[in-house]
Amino acid sequence: MHSVELLLDPVTDLAVREAWQRLARAGLPSLAAHRHPTNRPHLTLATADTLAPDTRARLEEALAALPLPVRLDGLVRFHGRRHVLAWAVRPDDALLRLHRTVWRTLREAPGSGRPHPLHAPGRWVPHLTLGRGARPAAAVSEADVLPQAPGTPPGVLTGRWTGARTYDAQSRTTDRLGP
């Protein structure tokens, strides 16, 4: 499986990594413990079984919209087989348009397989994963984990989406996409 992911500017990327460290210091599940060289803060837009060259070219065209603004705003929790603690991404119209274009491109590409339903427009919950594990991090608050800029509540941060990549889950490798 291949995912299409957006990447953050260096300052915002560092803020996410610092949140990973705060979780780790508290003894909670954190992506700081994930040492694979491809591990970095990212936003998954959609997935596909394969990425043919013509599909990549269409994705590159869509990703020419970068850079785009990002607004991070508070914690979000997902419960299921694994509990996920994440930093919520509040999408603007430009991000939603980009997401729909990437989703449609992958859905319509021959051989791309069945798209993951949680990435479908209208169901997609944009977020940056901070940690995931067998137990929930229910007692964690924004003030415990997320930075606070002067004059804003904890966990509100603005930055930019400055790059994109694909991640190949089989080979565990990444490849740059877009500008």
pLDDT value, residue 36: 83
pLDDT value, residue 152: 83
Domain that holds residue 36: 2-177
pTM (2 decimals)?
A: 0.93
The domain spanning residue 25 has which CATH number? 3.90.1140.10
- Model pLDDT for residues 12-52, shown as the tens digit of each residue: 999 999 999 999 998 888 999 888 878 899 999 999 998 89
**How many separate domains does the chain show?**
1
pLDDT value, residue 137: 63
Low-confidence residues of the chain: pLDDT under 70: 134-138
Pairwise CA distance, residues 174 & 165, whole Å: 6
